[in-house]
Structure 1
Amino acid sequence: MDNANRKKLLKFQQNEITEYRVYSTLASIEKDENNRKVLLSIANEEIKHYHILKKYTGVTPKPNRWRIFKYYWLARILGITFAIKRMESSEQNAHNNYAGYTGYADLTELAEAEEKHEKELISLIQEERLEYMGSVVLGLNDALVEFTGALAGFTLALNDSKLIALTGGITGIAAALSMASSEYLSTKSEAGKNKRPIKAAIYTGIAYIITVAALIAPFIFIGNVLAALGTMLCIALFIIALFNYYYAVARSESFRKRFGEMAILSFSVAAVSFVIGFALKKFTGIDI
């Protein structure tokens, strides 16, 4: 094997030992016994691949400590599923490149094992936060669609940023309690589900209230209602992008499709509500 290919394999080898350390570290902090076994099983696969590559490179590279640190804290903050799926999809992941070494049987087998076995193992990991993802989606989606529209309508109807924030806050809290109650009843009526109704309601309500607080904040701190409205729409777009990125990685779905659908829906409702607010103010003659 020439030096160029040996250098590539050395990079792959470092990637394997790094991922071995990541999975081993995550296993050490995982409380669920099933998840811990899955993580240790993947770690064992990584160390096997590392030793296969060592036969060709003849060296012992050190793991990338920054990646270990990064994925450890990603797992702590956003969950193990998100962290490992983000790691497996990163550009530094060399698994797909092994298939190019067709003249080496063990490297070809390694490519097939990486692609198949790890995906199967990762799919076995069960996380509570992902089980309740539907409840979070419900709270976020409803708050974004309903509240971008409501605040846009309030902007022209009320024309006072503090009054808009107050009205929005009261409406938002009432809506959050209503959505949480609906999710509780909906989850309770679903047979065969592992979700707990009270916990599902809490996830929905918290997601709704956090979104409402973020959306009314510009009207509290910015006096100009149109500037506050523009800032609110930017915050809504940021929340949509942030959540859908997390959801797309954790669920292995398309980010662009989900982001586009939610953004178009929220902003369309906001535009219609803005026009309705203007029309109602015009025709009723009420000026606050």
Structure 2
Amino acid sequence: MTMKDIETKLDAKTKDAVLKSQKTEMTEHVVYKRLAKKQRGRNAEILEQISEDEARHASIWERYTNTKVRPNPVAVILYTFLNMLFGITFTLKLMELNEDRAQKKYKKFLTLLPDAEEVLKEEEKHEQALLDLIDEERLKYTSSIVLGLNDALVELTGTLAGLTFALANSRIVGLAGLITGIAASLSMAASEYLSQKSEERDTLPVQASVYTGVAYIITVALLIFPFFVSSSVYAALAWSLVNALIIIALFTFFVSVVRSVSFKPMFTEMALVSFGVAAISFVIGSIANKLLGGSL
């Protein structure tokens, strides 16, 4: 069957699927090219190679569609922004996840398009092998970031919930949370430094402690902020708990993408632990307030 015969036999749905695949390849070609310019050494070479592969795949689809397509500008801007915010590995993994979904469409016309199977195999093996070579510092310290976030979420949500009923004053609760958070972040950073130094790892103790401390402080800031802007202590607590849920969701999504693990179980576990401690502390604070005659 000649190329002209195949092109003639393409129905509307198949051609639309091929065009979408072609646009995806062109978009990723541009994104990988941009990301390569922000990297050095081996990482830059890997991204350049992937970019060339995507351009070649797009040219294969173009032979069938006989149509030139432009990259998706919104996707290019989005992936560039995500790279700045979450790093190169997260961005690449997310792109691969999206492409995996698109690859399912390839199977519908593999028998019609002879080159599709070759493209599919290359996407599954070659690019994944290249992505595995990407080395990013922050991923080495994921456990340190998890430590800072988890401890801040569990400790501070519990503290703020308990103080809300015990003190019933937004500013005082916020100030108490700020003092507790700063002291705890320094303590956690120091503990992580000593823990890393006592064990043989491929991470540096100082960097690990910094990642833990910074993750803790950022979480503290997001959790106590509502208490300084809301006059209602209960509204502030509700706002703070929503912030905690957002932090858990964002970080869980990040880890699930870069580690290729399931999002739901990890999110559920972190949320249940944090909100479970908050609920217990809320009850303890309420009891403390009543025992003191509501004088606080």
Query: If the TM-score is normalised by the length of the shorter chain, which range does it land in?
Result: over 0.9
Q: What aligned pairs does 1:71-90 form with structure 2 within 5 A after superposition? A: 71-90=79-98
CA distance in 1, matches of 2:225, 2:62: 56
- Equivalent residue for 2:144? 135
- Which has the larger displacement, 206-215 or 93-102? 93-102
What is the TM-score with the length of structure 1 in the denominator? 0.92
Give 1:172's match in structure 2, choosing from 153, 175, 181.
181
2:272 maps to which residue? 264
Q: Deviations over 1:158-182 (max 9, x none)?
A: 2222211121111111100000001
Tell me: CA distance 1:97–1:157, structure 2 relative to 1, closer, same or farther (3 Å): same
Output the amino acid matched with 2:29.
Y
Counterparts of 1:51-62 in structure 2, within 5 Å, are 51-62=59-70
Residue 111 of structure 1 is matched in structure 2 by: 120
Aligned residues: 286
Distance 2:99 2:153 in 1: 32
Whether the 8 Å contact between 1:145 and 1:265 is mirrored in structure 2 is: yes
SS at match of 2:134: coil
Question: Is the contact between residue 172 and residue 209 of structure 1 (CA under 8 Å) also seen in structure 2?
Answer: yes
Distance verdict in 2 for CA 1:139–1:258, change over 3 Å: same
1:273 paired with 2:281, answer yes
- What's the secondary structure of 1:195's corresponding residue? coil
Deviations 1:109-151 (A, max 9, x none): 2112112222221121111121111111111110000110011
Query: Is the alpha carbon distance of 1:35 and 1:91 closer, same or farther for their aligned partners in structure 2, counting shifts above 3 Å?
Result: closer
Which deviates more from structure 2 when the two are superposed, residues 52-61 or residues 107-116? 52-61
Q: Which runs of 5+ in 1 are unaligned?
A: none
Find out whether 1:37 has 2:28 as its counterpart: no
State the alpha-carbon separation in 2 of the partners of residues 136 and 79 from structure 1: 14
1:8 is aligned to 17
Match of 1:209 in 2: 217
Paired residue for 2:76, among 49, 68, 75? 68
Worse overlay, 198-207 or 154-163 = 154-163
Is this contact kept in 1: 2:17–2:105, CA < 8 A? no
* 8 A Cα contact 2:149 2:215, kept in partner: yes
For 1:12 and 1:238, locate their aligned partners in 2 and report how far apart those are by CA, in whole Å.
Answer: 33
Q: How far did 1:91 drift?
A: 7.1
Matching residue's letter, 1:230? A
| Change beyond 3 A, Cα 1:105–1:165 | same
Task: Give the secondary structure class of the aligned counterpart of 2:98.
Answer: coil
Q: CA deviation at 1:92?
A: 9.2
Determine the C-alpha separation between the residues in 2 that align with 1:265 and 1:125.
33
Q: CA deviation at 1:252?
A: 1.8
**How far is the alpha carbon of 1:58 from its aligned partner?**
2.4
In structure 2, runs of 5+ residues without a counterpart are 1-5
User: What is the distance in 2 between the residues matched to 1:76 and 1:222?
Assistant: 32
Query: 1:177-216 to 2 correspondence within 5 Å?
Result: 177-191=186-200, 193-216=201-224
Instruction: Please report how far the alpha carbon of residue 75 of structure 1 lies from its aligned counterpart in structure 2 after TM superposition.
Output: 1.0
Distance 2:77 2:235 in 1: 40
Query: How far 1:88 sits from its partner (Å)?
Result: 2.2
TM-score, with length taken from structure 2: 0.90
Amino acid in the other structure paired with 2:291: F
Percent identity for Structure 1 against Structure 2:
48
Give distance in 1, aligned partners of 2:26 and 2:145. Answer: 36
Whole-Å Cα distance in 2 between the matches of residues 184 and 147 of structure 1?
21
